[in-house]
Structure 1
Amino acid sequence: MTIVNKVVLITGASSGLGESTAEHLAAKGAKLVLIARREDRLQQLVSRIRAAGGDAVYQLVDVTKAEELQRAVQLAVATYGRLDVIINNAGLMAIAPMSEVRTDEWDRMIDINIKGVLYGIAAALPVFQQQQSGHVINISSVAGIKVFSPGGTVYSGTKFAVRAISEGLRHEVGGAIRTTIISPGAVDSELKHGSAHAASAEFVEDFYKNNAIPASSVARAIAYAIEQPADVDISEVVLRPTVQDF
């Protein structure tokens, strides 16, 4: 099997895992629909991909708005005639003790990390069902397997939800439509900058400085899941730095 000519939509594509995955898949011949909120970063990424001989388009999208994700899927179909893979990558990690009661951050993580995934699925699933083929790849975290402490309770809750949603989707649509959970540990990306609580932000910065692996490590795992034969579903990949002890 091959990634060549597969049409892949990536949320949160303007930096980090999304950006690295876009460049890696483009080099393998995928046709990309890249979405995020920062147009300058998307323009630069698409320009680099095209300059290297790849094929990509972009669209400004806020994943907390279902209708914007629907338009992104429509762009994929209008541009390339189909959609083969959606990678629900956009995320927010705002680490702080629950005693800080940062309900605005809780709401934002729920909106991006859970609703954003659900809205991506909702936009892509009708196309996949009509095609009788497709692949949903949801980015969770090792924090979706074990609660990230201190301060990561709500973030972990959102990532546990992503794993539950992904597994339930696999049970419901498995057969023609594949579902993969990618659960990384500490990976060098902008995710580590999401904490406004000073002590937690310092802890996270130090943790990532001493543990993080490159985003390209996750990009390779995603490519591995995509390039399997159609009758092989890589249900979950858990990857972490060798020095990370949880």
Structure 2
Amino acid sequence: MTGAFDTHSHIQDPQLLANFDGIIDRARAAGLEGIAVLGYDPSSNQLALELAARSPLLFPAVGFHPHEADHVTPGMLAELESLARLPEVVAVGEIGLDAYRHHSTPANQRTLIDAQLEMALRVGKPVSVHSRSAEDAIAVHLGPYAEKARAAGLAIPGVMHCFGGTCEQAQQYLEMGFLISVACSVTYPKNEVTARLAQGVPLESLVIETDSPYLPPQTRRGQLNEPAHVVAAARAIAALRREPLERVLDVTTRNAGRLFRLPVGATAVGG
């Protein structure tokens, strides 16, 4: 079976970290070609780097989640930029806006995302964007960033992580050049919005993720999620689109390679 790429995980989470070796073994057994490990605060950023040094299957990204916005200082941003410049770091993220859980003020969230978007431009790397209940509001920030990214030669400005909006809302981000990421929640029977998204977004603009340890597939509800389960998202997308699973895995893995500029999928042989 064609390999898969989990474009968004948090396997540095304490709930998963104790079983790190088993998680990597199961991911390899499931055929994964890569796993992006996203940071969200200083300690998780450092752990993402440390874990990636332990396994060639892992690719770290560093960033500050919007929940951290009330606490991020200029010094923390300077340190984040130093990490983001490291060659092994594939993206700036997880960054964004969150209007669902109010762990930080909207004003501080907006200041923080703008600072990190400018940082991504300086270091020349794509962003992984969290937009919970902010699928429209975040366009004000991402539009100007995407224009600057294109001007700077960044082919794909980033990915809308675990996108929770409609196909219509996704369209504006597709036009900006972003990829849309579908998580294992697409397997939930009542998740009609994500099902329509998986059907309506061009396959060439889709990637898949687990958001481990969150959002396990339907068959594992109530359990911790992990990267090996990302194939469940691909299987659901294939069924919804009435396309072969191999094609969904092939295209989404190549898309991940283009996003993170990695030799995975067909990109490894010039695809």
Query: TM-score normalized by structure 1?
Result: 0.42
